[in-house]
Structure 1
């Protein structure tokens, strides 16, 4: 896997590549690869939906997400000090919105769109960089790479983004300080202004229109197409660009910038539509890959060919449940035909011995689509493993029934995809209460630890979302919670551990890691997601004499109830949370239950 480091060399941000190696699972970049690769369709992350069509703006008149995303990235990068290795695309823009140079709602709108994707595995600055890639793709631009690894700023950067009335010499020196040549400056402005326009609400002095209602004067006649009309219309003299033909010459910044080299660069950009797209992809890549000198960017993230999404949990009768999906890339260049493809897994026991075959079935949810024609299908599986023998690794087999040819995937040429059954996440017994007390909800997490490791400490590292005054995105603070042993699961050879933490009602959706032991023996389950406790529809209640803890109540069939996060499942018996306070409270048992959709 190539790894890129953006270094400042002679005032220019340059990408230094190192040796190539294959993708290895799991990777700390799995989440960001998912966000980039899974754009629409089944199990998609939906980033491109904000620019589909290119003119889309959330049904708000005049808004265009694609233009806003590119503008936000430019304003974040514009005040870079390349010689000092400071600034660049680091998300500092969201600390700088009190400045007149950063007027308008575009910047907060941008983060709001992808705020649900923001996490410890997807920084705000990486998502901002990706937004340029997605906007460019969604509006018909040329293919451009995306590298990850940006670190979010924790404070504002220097001021100085060029404005419409900024003198040409000052504008030129600002771009030069950021590491961009004069021709790159012209290309950045032209490429950024092939979409969108100027809002009268924020700039009535430029548009000459009333601020209310908000009216957008477009930069060119095809504001929702990534073409070179911004250049050709300027050169033909029939442009409507308000930063070229405005009545106040002082505010015609595009006119000054395009003419700053005698119109040479803008003429080159106007030659062909494809040439314009290629030039824009190149200069946009330079822009988003300009980062602080201490930041290491990855190689360009590519869609992973074969990617597993699997989990282990302690099941019934002392067994281990092994289940999940395998994502298979079916883009045209793979040559894979889903109608002539079967997938199965084979795994080795805890000691790395033996081979057990696990069949899969094609997930009927459908196809997932990515940028640039990428497609994926999913194969799902579920099996039971004896806890006594366990599992240590698995490999994936793809077979063409028509030829009986099989390809075996061993995790980047290694010995297999690794699993450690010393620590199991019990998702069915881990959840966030649906009810709030003092604006907080209880999150209960449950894990199962193999008996030979039960003396080691078990902890949860939870990411708490902390609000910041005046800043749209929350600070991510890791908080540690120790888990305590609660029960020996009998003949299974596992011990159950559990912990609880209070989460704010408006910040319960987050991620966490489970950690067993430390040093060379540390076992981790990373980037797990909190989930709310499921709702059930109660078919019948049956009272029992034992009170197993907490208040419960008899109720009528058809009432809605909520399962305790630590409820044990014994057949169909579930402990339920009380919604009303009854004097003669007793424990209840659901004799039959079915999922209840919210």
Structure 2
């Protein structure tokens, strides 16, 4: 083991940034980036890490390592900065600098293309580049690189000054000193940055000639692993390195930059980094320092730490008649320190508009789980109706564990705030699904504004505008439009505005509404229905009925055991009638939570009758109707239901559902296929054959005998109806109803 000198020990200790950082108060400027950082997979996942998972992956194919390219992108963006003068640094100026020069190769444009969808008014491109450092390092087994946010993007390219392989060591030292790194730190940054990736012959043929490339992809790696480890240091010190910037043609060309950098202090620092714990802790600090080289005047936040409890998609919606407001959303519970299995319930404890505690809590139901590199989360959804006269102003979250203990999360004592001065009316808003005569899509936005004073009511849109000249990342443009007063419903006035969107902008545009200082922001136009529903001045009828269906009652429901589980449809423009149509082949259907439709031929025994008032959420497509509630389903019976059967055929006996034969047909004498097939027509075609069978909805087979390798299967396997008669079963894929 290599002993560390006292100066190196002192330096290592000085790099360690110890401290505990407070969880932010919600809402916070870090909220969007916290999601990007932590929600890698599962419910509400952002998927930012997918491009670097696993560590060796690249969507560009063999020879590319996206994680290494993300680290390189952050360094190149930062490297032209001047820490002394406070000019440049990590400011996304690289966006304008990818056409050659010091930024050689396709890695930068590839990385920026991956980052572009995450760029928004709440996540600057420079913060995303910094987040890429954390994500790439962590995906490859490296340490946590703390992420502070608040970077401001450059609007043009910066100065030159990225270190190049041919630079002399004095030039290297001066360049790194300009960035804010002394010689010891320079060595650490290079070692930490070159623990993954390599040199491509296509970019540097003088260093990696095609004939000498380590593999057919034309790449020579910096060390023998594609992991965030200290092999780059241990192999250098042991003399076994194949690092092309240390050995090989780069020596004769004077481009063995890693070798010169590592030897700049007589190999003292690089030897210290052969200790894995030292390497890990030093890289964590040096890479954080690297991404915190920012322009003068930039104020960075505290490092992102996970919320223990975080709300999502909170939405108040005025209901028909104006007497009630729907309150919906999700609550995320961090289950890293409290296992999800230990959570018995999550409830919302709220205060009304005047700050008075409500008499009843709002229950939630399980929605799903999500995971990051180091944290796990469980989401709970809720939907409740509140009186418009008292409404809500803030809430706390009460978590009850299975041992009976409780946790009250109060957002650092502030409560989780929610305003009801202005509310987006999503059911009444819409984005047209077709282009108008000018080739545009019409966006209509409706907001409900409480009659408490005179406000300037505005619609704000944030548009992503493509740049020219090969610049990958779009620019953001904010557009405002005055909203016009429409009609009064209860204590609220409805306001409306329309805007024409280019079809290419419909997937990337966000919007919000404001009345004075009150806002309801960060909405996604893709979540709006394609047609606007009217808001009735009268309250919903509880249970619509028709000659086609009859209301059965309000019943309990849960994600673990659905009341009706044969089919499910989700619709942000749902009505009872639409669900009845979707479930027309089933005996029962139910609507839940405003936008969920479930079908089945029987109700699960775990679903029991609930009070009619508990099915109190208006349908998303018709606020005159109720569509269940949170864990409550409005159940209906299909009065036109006729069961699908295996009909009686004269001269034949139904044998059951059978598999196709192995290596041949179950019935091999003759066959036909038609889009008008019925069981009766197949029997007629087979003309007295000993056996006949129907398969895949439209296929008919005949035979004097049944193949021995065709075996009886579960009746549920033959689930397709006949193409010519939807009330008869006609097998399925590789399954026959045999007669």
TM-score greater than 0.5 by the shorter chain: yes
Distance in 1, Cα, partners of 2:16 & 2:446: 44
1:274 paired residue number: 277
Query: Contact 2:92–2:125 (CA<8 Å) still a contact in 1?
Result: yes
2:185 paired residue number: 184
Distance in 2, Cα, partners of 1:163 & 1:173: 13
Query: Contact 2:45–2:370 (CA<8 Å) still a contact in 1?
Result: yes
Deviation digits for residues 480-533 of structure 1 (CA, Å, limit 9, x no counterpart): 1111112222xx32111111112222222222231102xxxx211232222255
Change (3 A) 1:22 1:136: closer
**Which segment is superposed worse, 32-41 or 338-347?**
338-347
Distance in 1, Cα, partners of 2:16 & 2:343: 41
Query: Contact 2:430–2:530 (CA<8 Å) still a contact in 1?
Result: no
Deviation digits for residues 223-245 of structure 1 (CA, Å, limit 9, x no counterpart): x2111111111122221111111
Deviation digits for residues 168-220 of structure 1 (CA, Å, limit 9, x no counterpart): 22121111111111111111111111101111222222111169975221111
Deviation digits for residues 537-574 of structure 1 (CA, Å, limit 9, x no counterpart): xxxxxxxxxxxxxxxxxxxx99xxxxxxxx9736579x
**Which segment is superposed worse, 20-29 or 289-298?**
20-29
Distance in 1, Cα, partners of 2:477 & 2:17: 32
Change (3 A) 1:144 1:20: closer
Distance in 2, Cα, partners of 1:253 & 1:305: 45
1:172 paired residue number: 173
Q: Residue 502 of structure 1 is aligned with which of 500, 518, 530?
A: 500
2:247 paired residue number: 245
Distance in 2, Cα, partners of 1:116 & 1:493: 40
Question: What is the CA-CA distance between 1:317 and the residue it aligns to?
Answer: 3.5
Query: Contact 1:465–1:510 (CA<8 Å) still a contact in 2?
Result: yes
Query: Contact 1:142–1:281 (CA<8 Å) still a contact in 2?
Result: yes
2:518 paired residue number: 523
Query: Contact 1:358–1:381 (CA<8 Å) still a contact in 2?
Result: no
Deviation digits for residues 277-307 of structure 1 (CA, Å, limit 9, x no counterpart): 2111111011011111210000011000111
2:512 paired residue number: 513
1:539 paired residue number: none
Structural RMSD (CA) = 2.7
Change (3 A) 1:232 1:91: same
Query: For structure 2, which runs of at least 5 residues remain unmatched after alignment?
Result: 1-14, 532-580, 583-619, 627-739
Distance in 2, Cα, partners of 1:181 & 1:48: 32
Aligned pairs for 1:397-476 (under 5 A) are: 397-403=398-404, 405-414=405-414, 416-437=415-436, 438-453=438-453, 455-470=454-469, 471-476=471-476
Distance in 1, Cα, partners of 2:55 & 2:16: 30
- Answering whether residue 616 of structure 2 is matched by residue 569 of structure 1, we say no
- Answering whether residue 483 of structure 2 is matched by residue 483 of structure 1, we say yes
Distance in 1, Cα, partners of 2:527 & 2:272: 56
Question: What is the CA-CA distance between 1:395 and the residue it aligns to?
Answer: 1.7
Question: What is the CA-CA distance between 1:15 and the residue it aligns to?
Answer: 13
SS of 2:408's partner is strand
Question: What is the CA-CA distance between 1:80 and the residue it aligns to?
Answer: 1.2
Question: What is the CA-CA distance between 1:59 and the residue it aligns to?
Answer: 5.1
Query: Contact 2:513–2:520 (CA<8 Å) still a contact in 1?
Result: yes
Structure of higher RCO (CA pairs closer than 8 Å, 6+ residues apart)? 1
- Answering whether residue 345 of structure 2 is matched by residue 322 of structure 1, we say no
Query: Contact 1:218–1:242 (CA<8 Å) still a contact in 2?
Result: yes
Which structure has the larger Rg?
2
Query: For structure 1, which runs of at least 5 residues remain unmatched after alignment?
Result: 1-13, 537-556, 559-566, 574-598
**Which segment is superposed worse, 97-106 or 176-185?**
97-106
Q: Residue 264 of structure 2 is aligned with which of 250, 260, 265?
A: 260
Q: Residue 355 of structure 1 is aligned with which of 358, 375, 383?
A: 358
Change (3 A) 1:504 1:159: same
SS of 1:472's partner is coil
Distance in 2, Cα, partners of 1:57 & 1:232: 26
SS of 2:446's partner is strand
Query: Contact 1:440–1:505 (CA<8 Å) still a contact in 2?
Result: yes
Q: Across the two proteins, how many residue pairs are aligned to each other?
A: 518
2:608 paired residue number: none
Deviation digits for residues 574-593 of structure 1 (CA, Å, limit 9, x no counterpart): xxxxxxxxxxxxxxxxxxxx
1:236 paired residue number: 238
SS of 1:256's partner is helix
Distance in 2, Cα, partners of 1:20 & 1:216: 41
Query: Contact 1:434–1:533 (CA<8 Å) still a contact in 2?
Result: no
**Which segment is superposed worse, 257-266 or 121-130?**
257-266
SS of 2:99's partner is coil
Distance in 2, Cα, partners of 1:91 & 1:196: 22
TM-score with structure 2 length normalisation? 0.67
SS of 2:413's partner is coil
Question: What is the CA-CA distance between 1:325 and the residue it aligns to?
Answer: 1.0
Change (3 A) 1:400 1:247: closer
Change (3 A) 1:493 1:91: same
Query: Contact 2:484–2:495 (CA<8 Å) still a contact in 1?
Result: yes
Question: What is the CA-CA distance between 1:23 and the residue it aligns to?
Answer: 2.5
Question: What is the CA-CA distance between 1:439 and the residue it aligns to?
Answer: 4.8
2:554 paired residue number: none
Query: Contact 2:367–2:381 (CA<8 Å) still a contact in 1?
Result: no
Query: Contact 2:191–2:232 (CA<8 Å) still a contact in 1?
Result: yes
Distance in 2, Cα, partners of 1:273 & 1:426: 56
